[in-house]
Structure 1
């Protein structure tokens, strides 16, 4: 099959290279891994001007946003280098032997971490640097000792090729096997499924749509030997506005929230898409202010035609629902309308409103509108808020405004948020994910396929390590495993 399909043949070649490099990279020392990761960060920064211009041509995300994203990408590469040097991938738990009969007596047991092997990394459309060729998934897998096969995203192919070209030069300069980092292209789902199904692949990291992610997740689980699939599939990110949060007025908080909804044309997995507002005088004023603030936002064009189609379909479906009221009047596209071509126009922001009972009863209202749009849910009690959150199921984030006091209601809201989200915010907006040790970017299904793991932050490398208990192992082996010097 691969001989008749160039994309499949390229996948065969890349995975063979990764398989060949796997043992070498698994046995690499902390200093070797750190040197590579820092070299990759350096080459990004050395070529920042050209790379940002290229990324902007393909994505229209804007140079300020892309400049910050490239800086974040270099920062997290260096952060994973430091994690490797700190011994995180080489951590051991050593239980000394104890004399006597079980259960008190026991052999010596040493728990070590073993790299999974080659990781297929699916780049995301909305982060051309931070979730792409040298993004967090690549950095964390390399730090864990796993070769990476990057599946380039069709939304920024030229940038992906250029970043990869710079990266492989670093790999070569450091005398590492070419299979430590490879790249494949091919926009078809068949090519993606072929990569996931390939016997040389040991794990998959994916950031993208729910539909595409679920299809690949099924492939990973239907293999003769199923493999871990670490998928981030999207989220509607509820934001709860309690009455106390509006005590000092509605204008500024509405403006802040509108900016978050429209940030990056709403193409963030953490964009607040569900706003729970109490149906009282302040709540109604806040909703009106939010609609006004959002209507003045000017989102740029979306990343791809398919994303724009998906957004238009989602908001059209929402607008046509009998229980839903539109709060922002739909207008004609603002750009290129005279030329009869709306494909490059930024979409108008949209805001909708629905009663809590209708939202709870209609699962089709729970779907993500990936773009500058949100749904306001009118609630009348904390009990109703809890019912809405329960209906949401899994989410990357839940934001709670106004729970500063220790009350029974606030504790109930916090517990409900913890049950459905990987990150709970008590102020601000959910867009913006800090790269730290304490970060958790993942949530219960359908937000992610592995809610006990994170795809952002230094805990991400744990995804690509498997625990192995060594019983009565010789001291030389334990020492070699601890330093990553086993060859």
Structure 2
């Protein structure tokens, strides 16, 4: 272990709260990864994994007051928000326990030998999925629990049978240490080695863990610059590994002219609540809104102005993010034809005030300096682009990179037209994103089997989701056994199905117990 201290800092005051750990040097990272790798055989038991995930959820809830207090002191996100995040995180852990218990994630397929099959005889083939190995998890700054040490990457990796080495985020090291201790104790309580979860700190630890030969995959939530550097490092290894990164998203919103005329105040107020939620530090914050010119759009902007002006000041996660936010706002506001009905600005030495900018959508349809408005600005600001017609909307959307979400607000009549312009708009947005929201707001990612939290690059580096049941697929790979003797087959592939798994056998779906 290195000697550089890891300090917990209160973003409300800028004052250190104390040392909670030391940064891991290369030797310490190597020891952590090797210790985690040694637990792979123990994690092979699905019953042990389900017990671990449920015990971890129980432990997190039992220590909830302590964990929330530490997280609030390090992030300024507030006890109410963090209490909800803790509940979401424990729910996520239990949801993956249910996934393991059901067993469908193994995707078992058995095709018995058929010498009459064409065009060539078919041998006995049996396929299922196995864990990749040690997973490196890089914690996010803005969700210290749900995307931190006990978050979705860790939960889904453990569910898959992969031990985890978490690289703590420097914004919440105390919270990370507390959560890692809870997970390790939970492992011990169900008879698993505590080293199924290891925690390391420090910038160098991140580069060391991504390059370690025993690390088989990685999950990341953070900036485009940081995520791309790690993604490139993962690809440059002698044996490249999967890197599932969530890097950045503008999350466009389109408000049709009919919707703006039908409910301008509701949409304007809802937008203000969405882009200022969590001080604008959600990965799904709506950062670009296409609203019509004219009276309906003016009423929407007036409602947005009123709601945003009433938003209290907020403290961002750290001083670096605060300075980047203020610098980003200044650069955007200085562009020609950009106006600020409510100017985002600093409020004292640590807080910021929310605001928004407006610009003619025409400015965003061609290359030039206004392209900056099509890039994410982390914090409580959004850009309202006023469009004249559908052609301008399509031109702006055509210049966007991949995103996590897109939102469309429709009038009631538009929503009933199966083959009208609204259907074409949804189809166009589908090509850009991983989740399309209709008449709602993208902030808030429900943990549910049908959820997808991902999108085309740079929203994510692949096609997988980091939320919902299918997140487990990131840490698995398929293996097929051909003509293997029955006695040597893994339990999920045996004809007697001793684990009671759902399977597809000779083309027919089998659901035990149904």
Smaller-chain TM-score range? over 0.9
Which of 403, 408, 414 aligns to 2:420? It is 408
2:32 aligns to what?
14
Q: Partners in 1 of 2:154 and 2:302 — Cα distance?
A: 43
Deviation at 1:319, TM superposition (A): 1.1
> For 1:392, what is the secondary structure of its paired residue?
coil
> For 2:126, what is the secondary structure of its paired residue?
strand
Per the alignment, do residues 196 and 330 of structure 1 end up closer, same or farther by CA in structure 2, a change over 3 Å counting? closer
1:472 aligns to what?
483
Superposed, 1:141-156 pairs within 5 Å as: 141-156=157-172
1:429 aligns to what?
441
Deviation at 1:223, TM superposition (A): 0.6
Comparing 169-178 and 14-23, the one that deviates more: 169-178
Give structure 2 stretches of 5+ with no counterpart: 5-22, 500-514
2:254 aligns to what?
240
Deviation at 1:102, TM superposition (A): 5.0
Contact 1:117–1:146 (CA under 8 A) maintained in structure 2:
yes
Contact 2:24–2:201 (CA under 8 A) maintained in structure 1:
no
In proportion to residue count, which structure has more helix?
Answer: 1
Superposed, 1:129-208 pairs within 5 Å as: 129-186=145-202, 188=203, 190-208=204-222
Q: Partners in 1 of 2:144 and 2:419 — Cα distance?
A: 43
1:357 aligns to what?
362
2:14 aligns to what?
none
Q: Partners in 2 of 1:112 and 1:37 — Cα distance?
A: 22
1:73 aligns to what?
89
Superposed, 1:258-407 pairs within 5 Å as: 258-329=272-343, 333-334=346-347, 337=348, 342=349, 344-345=350-351, 347-361=352-366, 362=368, 363-402=371-410, 403-404=414-415, 405-407=417-419
Q: Partners in 2 of 1:465 and 1:275 — Cα distance?
A: 38
Size of the aligned set, in residue pairs, is 471
> For 1:239, what is the secondary structure of its paired residue?
strand
Comparing 191-200 and 241-250, the one that deviates more: 241-250
Superposed, 1:451-462 pairs within 5 Å as: 452-462=463-473
Instruction: Tell me the alpha carbon deviations over residues 230-265 of structure 1, each in whole angstroms, 9 at most, x when there is no partner.
Output: 000110100111122234332222111101110000
Contact 2:126–2:481 (CA under 8 A) maintained in structure 1:
yes
Runs of 4+, deviation exceeding 6 Å: 1-5
In proportion to residue count, which structure has more strand?
Answer: 2
Superposed, 1:40-59 pairs within 5 Å as: 40-59=56-75
TM-score when normalising by structure 1: 0.93
Q: Partners in 2 of 1:440 and 1:271 — Cα distance?
A: 16
Q: Partners in 1 of 2:420 and 2:161 — Cα distance?
A: 47
TM-score when normalising by structure 2: 0.88
> For 1:470, what is the secondary structure of its paired residue?
strand
Contact 2:222–2:248 (CA under 8 A) maintained in structure 1:
yes
Contact 2:276–2:381 (CA under 8 A) maintained in structure 1:
yes
Contact 2:344–2:353 (CA under 8 A) maintained in structure 1:
yes
Comparing 469-478 and 2-11, the one that deviates more: 2-11
1:91 aligns to what?
107
Q: Partners in 2 of 1:122 and 1:101 — Cα distance?
A: 48
Comparing 86-95 and 3-12, the one that deviates more: 3-12
Q: Partners in 2 of 1:300 and 1:476 — Cα distance?
A: 63
Per the alignment, do residues 81 and 54 of structure 1 end up closer, same or farther by CA in structure 2, a change over 3 Å counting? same
Contact 2:24–2:200 (CA under 8 A) maintained in structure 1:
no
Deviation at 1:63, TM superposition (A): 0.8
Give structure 1 stretches of 5+ with no counterpart: none
